[in-house]
Amino acid sequence: MILTPLFTVFLVIVFVLVWLFTNTIDKRKWLSFLISVLLTPIIYYFVFYPLLNIFSSYHHEKYFESKVWNKKPAFRYEMSGHIISDSLFIGKTKKDVESALGKSEWYGWDDSIKANSSDKWNYNLGFKPGALNNLQECIEFEFNDNKVKTVKQYQLEQKFE
């Protein structure tokens, strides 16, 4: 286990809260301290940490790998940051993009021609990890002269019934 500063601060906070709670039950300090020391790791890992993961927007980042993109679509969201920040596909041809990502899942809307354009390829990234999230993440590759001009990530609101 790696003791990071944030982990240590959270663990101390949980310990203090458990200690304050046990002091309300029994006034013997040594017993409250002993119970707090024993309960703190349990409460941290089974209550605090799961709640932190549910309500925080943290997610892991992965480097782009074509094999993983095609075989495990659930990891696409984690690779999108690498694609955009490192401009991996800027200047690549449609054939290069198709061989790395597969066929476009849908074409994007182009206002200049008032129709879906074959120069705007879109891929579904799934949903951002976390609770109460109804925004589907997508990535769009815009081509100009058969080469990628821009790559952008956007969100679509999904309605669940």
Instruction: Convert the pLDDT of each residue in 64-110 to its tens digit.
Output: 888 988 898 888 888 888 888 888 889 999 999 999 998 988 888 87
If you classify domain 66-157 with CATH, what class do you get?
alpha beta
Residue with tokens 């994007």: 108
Residue with tokens 């993983």: 68
pLDDT, tens only, 40-69: 889 988 988 888 777 776 667 788 888 988
Residue with tokens 């480097």: 63
Say yes or no to pLDDT of 140 above 90.
yes
Q: Confidence band (pLDDT; 50, 70, 90) for 131?
A: low
Average pLDDT of every residue of the chain? 85
Region(s) of the chain under CATH 3.30.1450.10? 66-157
Say yes or no to pLDDT of 1 above 60.
no
| Token pair for 96 | 């290069």
* Beta bridge partner(s), residue 147: 93, 144
Nearest CA to 141 among 126, 62, 157, 96? 96
Say yes or no to pLDDT of 36 above 70.
yes
Read off the pTM: 0.66
Residue with tokens 């879906």: 116
